[in-house]
Amino acid sequence: MERVIIHVDMDYFYAAIEEREDPSLKDKAVVVCMYSNRGEEGGAVSTSNYIARKAGIRSAMPCRQARSLKPDAIFLPVRKQFYEDISARVMDILSSHADSDESFEKISIDEAFLEISQNCAGNFEKAIDIGLLIKNDVLEHEKLTCSVGIGPNKLIAKMASSFKKPDGMTLVKPEDVTDFLSPMPVKKLWGIGKVTEEKLQQMSIETIGQLAAYDAQELIAVFGKNRGTWLKKAASGIDETPVTEKTATDQIGRMASLKEDTRDNGEIFSLMNELVDDVIKKAVSRKVSFRSVTITVIFSNFRMATKSRTLNHAVSDKGILHETAREIMLQFLRESSMDFRRIGVRVGNLQQNIGQKSLFEYF
């Protein structure tokens, strides 16, 4: 079976959220800044929309410089927690389309890899349908756009997602990898920085195709064995790194599929209890408490819904998590007549425990 990987990259995430929250910002240059303690004159640009980018504004640029380039732009402060909450919901949508929990890898607040080899049976044409479904789900639930890249490995999927931004989708089949990569400037190869780019230019290597054709031993002589070997393989479109689940620092969660689409309380709560137990064990191992509990349901028509509850104070008690999760799940069952396909349990607003043990740790 062919390996099929999707990379999803949210389009100008922070600025897009601000546009969604305030429609009057549409068609204006929007710049989201991480201000320093010096106020609006200090700090750096976190992100900007495409109108601002056309004026030359870029991430990490000093806010003062950005103002000089586009004085009529709308400058807004970063709202980190707000963006993280939206990111968590987006990631729930994305992970619901992966082969399994372990086949989903969040790599930043606004991008992730999914392996869908089993879901599409290694068929790249079916992968297009999954990519479109992801885009539609994100747009429907969060009113945000994303760009999707589909390829035979993480490297190609990542580069494909940048090919038609914003709101694009690019498919690169295994047989098309060479034609896709070869004409690109070498700096476009994911993982190449400024220093490596300059060294390659000194070697008269300007395109990825030229790098792929370069003698491997000469690359190793210049860059060392590991880096030289990687450059040769990456330029040839070879990437064997797996999509692996990573522990998020801002939340702990698990999702799993029911044995079959169902509304049977016994089946649903049995699986939910397993997820709760796993989440609480992870919380205990990380020595954290949580203040928010979120339940996610993927229905039989693949539509997703989430409900959250914020607790009065941070806890790490299994009984409280079980009770809260059960109450939310019962609400889902009352409000919907559709069968459940997949469910998830997530805790957030994590706080580090200091000294005191939870009751669960004694058993």
Residue ranges of the binding site for Mg(2+): 9, 110
Residue ranges of the binding site: 9, 110
Task: Output the six-digit token pair for 235.
Answer: 């330029």
Q: Convert the chain into a string of H (helix), E (strand) and C (coil).
A: CCCCEEEEEECCHHHHHHHHHCHHHCCCCEEEEEEECCEEEEEEEEEECHHHHHCCCCCCCEHHHHHHHCCCCEEEECCHHHHHHHHHHHHHHHHCCCCCHHHEEEEECCEEEEECCCCCCCCHHHHHHHHHHHHHHHHHHHCCCEEEEEECCHHHHHHHHCCCCCCCEEECCHHHHHHHHCCCEHHHCCCCCHHHHHHHHHCCCCEHHHHHHCCHHHHHHHHCHHHHHHHHHHHCCCCCCCCCCCCCCCEEEEEEEEEEEECCHHHHHHHHHHHHHHHHHHHHHCCEEEEEEEEEEEECCCCEEEEEEEEEEEECCHHHHHHHHHHHHHHHHHHCCCCEEEEEEEEECCEECCCCCCHHHHC
Q: Confirm if 2 and 116 have CB atoms less than 8 A apart.
A: no
Beta bridge partners of residue 305, listed in sequence order: 297
125 catalytic per annotation: no
Q: Is the peptide bond before 242 cis (omega within 30 degrees of 0)?
A: no
Selecting among 111, 125, 206, 361, the annotated active-site residue is 111
Query: What residues are annotated to the active site?
Result: 111
